């Protein structure tokens, strides 16, 4: 049997396995919760975290760069072969696409076994005993008022620069190291958040993430929580905690946002508290705007000058990166989320508000 034929058979088998897992997994969330998220994933993630914790830089970032360069190299070699060997073009093209098909299936298989199955675990609302139910617009309005008041109070305890914009009291190394304190305290309420993991890391080429509209990214193949160090200070603590939620096996974006809010709120550092509340306020107010714009404007008018400055700075930061790269990245991210059972795509982030309302009702 030729080498290309062996690769093709392996690829077809992997494709069938991947497809089977992809369609069976959504029907067995309890099994995945017990045997994968709290079983196999705990083992594989601890191994990955042990090795990634040895280095103080993001291994995943450099693996990604190497992969891009390797792909470009393979494409160049492929084009050269096509030009040089006209008589074997069909075989060269077939071999190239078989190799690509095999590689894609291997990468996807590693993705779902190392982390991806967490998309199909039980919802955090069930794990945390936070029953999500329907709420009135008045409930949403009250939540926004509460969050606004908390943000205004916390903002008085925050440092600011000469432009009146929040600036962090401590360096990023402190934040990356101390973020776990919020998780340790939160685990007393939600034991599922317990565990020791590698410290989150800053991305060296953060500017590239900014152009893609990304504030943080979880590296599945290295178990690293990676942070865009260029985002405004008001969002850095909550971004760190968001990516740490992914590291702990919570793949859904809306749940990672809520966990970030909880862990930031319980953190003793006011910078974390303010960042978490601001994250919750942004999502809650965006949801209120779709239902009652008048109430939205009334509540927004009660923002303190400091909160307004921080939100304006955040908006201006992302506006400078608007363009074809950001739009393409957003479309890719939207398709990725939808392919992993987040039916609303990038808009599923708004469902964080359901958990905030459930928490408020429980209290």
Task: Kindly report, residue by residue over 298-328, the tens digit of the pLDDT.
Answer: 999 999 999 999 999 999 999 988 765 545 5
Chosen domain end from 101, 120, 139:
120
Residue 27 has which token pair? 């029907």
Task: Say if residues 186 and 303 touch (Cβ distance below 8 Å).
Answer: no
Task: Say if residues 213 and 329 touch (Cβ distance below 8 Å).
Answer: yes
Task: Say if residues 357 and 140 touch (Cβ distance below 8 Å).
Answer: yes
Q: What is the pLDDT of residue 334?
A: 54
Q: Is residue 240 part of a domain?
A: yes
Q: What is the pLDDT of residue 341?
A: 54
Same-domain check for residues 239 and 303: yes
Residue-wise pLDDT for 246-300, tens only, equals 999 999 999 999 999 999 999 999 999 999 999 999 999 999 998 999 999 999 9
Q: Is residue 109 part of a domain?
A: yes
Evaluate if residue 59 carries a pLDDT over 90.
Answer: yes
Residue with tokens 């009334």: 298
Residue 66 has which token pair? 């190497």
Evaluate if residue 105 carries a pLDDT over 90.
Answer: no
The domain containing residue 316 runs over which residues? 131-362
Q: Please count the CA atoms within 13 angstroms of the CA of 285 that sit on its side-chain side.
A: 21
Chosen domain end from 65, 89, 120:
120
Split at pLDDT 50, 70, 90, the class of 338 is low
Same-domain check for residues 73 and 142: no
């Amino acid at each position: 049997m030729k080498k290309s034929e062996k690769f093709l058979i392996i690829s077809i088998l992997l494709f069938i396995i991947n497809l089977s897992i992809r369609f069976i997994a959504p029907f067995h969330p309890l099994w995945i919760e017990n045997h994968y998220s709290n079983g196999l994933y705990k083992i594989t993630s601890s191994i990955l975290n042990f090795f990634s914790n040895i280095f103080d830089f993001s291994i995943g970032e450099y693996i990604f760069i190497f992969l891009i360069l390797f792909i470009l190299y393979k494409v160049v070699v492929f084009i050269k072969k096509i030009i040089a060997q006209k008589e074997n073009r069909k075989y060269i093209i077939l071999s190239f696409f078989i190799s690509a098909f095999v590689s894609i299936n291997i990468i996807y298989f590693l993705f779902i076994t190392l982390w991806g199955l967490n998309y199909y675990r039980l919802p955090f609302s069930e794990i945390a005993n936070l029953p999500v139910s329907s709420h009135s617009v008045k409930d949403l309005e009250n939540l926004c008022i509460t969050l606004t008041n908390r943000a205004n109070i916390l903002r008085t305890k925050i440092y600011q620069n000469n432009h009146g914009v929040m600036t962090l009291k401590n360096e990023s190394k402190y934040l990356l190291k101390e973020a776990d304190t919020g998780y340790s305290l939160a685990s007393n309420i939600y034991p599922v958040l317990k565990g020791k993991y590698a410290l989150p890391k800053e991305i060296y080429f953060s500017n590239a993430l900014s152009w893609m509209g990304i504030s943080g990214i979880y590296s599945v193949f290295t178990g690293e929580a990676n942070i865009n160090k260029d985002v405004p200070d008001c969002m850095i603590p909550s971004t760190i905690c968001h990516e740490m939620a992914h590291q702990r096996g919570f793949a859904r974006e809306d749940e990672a946002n809520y966990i970030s809010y909880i862990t930031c709120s319980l953190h003793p550092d006011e910078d974390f508290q303010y960042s978490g509340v601001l994250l919750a306020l942004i999502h809650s107010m965006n949801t209120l705007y779709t239902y009652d714009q008048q109430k939205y404007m009334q509540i927004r008018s009660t923002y303190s000058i400091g909160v307004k400055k921080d939100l304006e700075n955040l908006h201006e930061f992302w506006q400078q990166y608007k363009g074809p790269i950001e739009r393409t990245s957003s479309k890719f991210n939207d398709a990725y989320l939808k392919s992993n059972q987040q039916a609303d795509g990038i808009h599923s982030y708004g469902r964080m508000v359901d958990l905030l309302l459930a928490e408020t009702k429980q209290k």
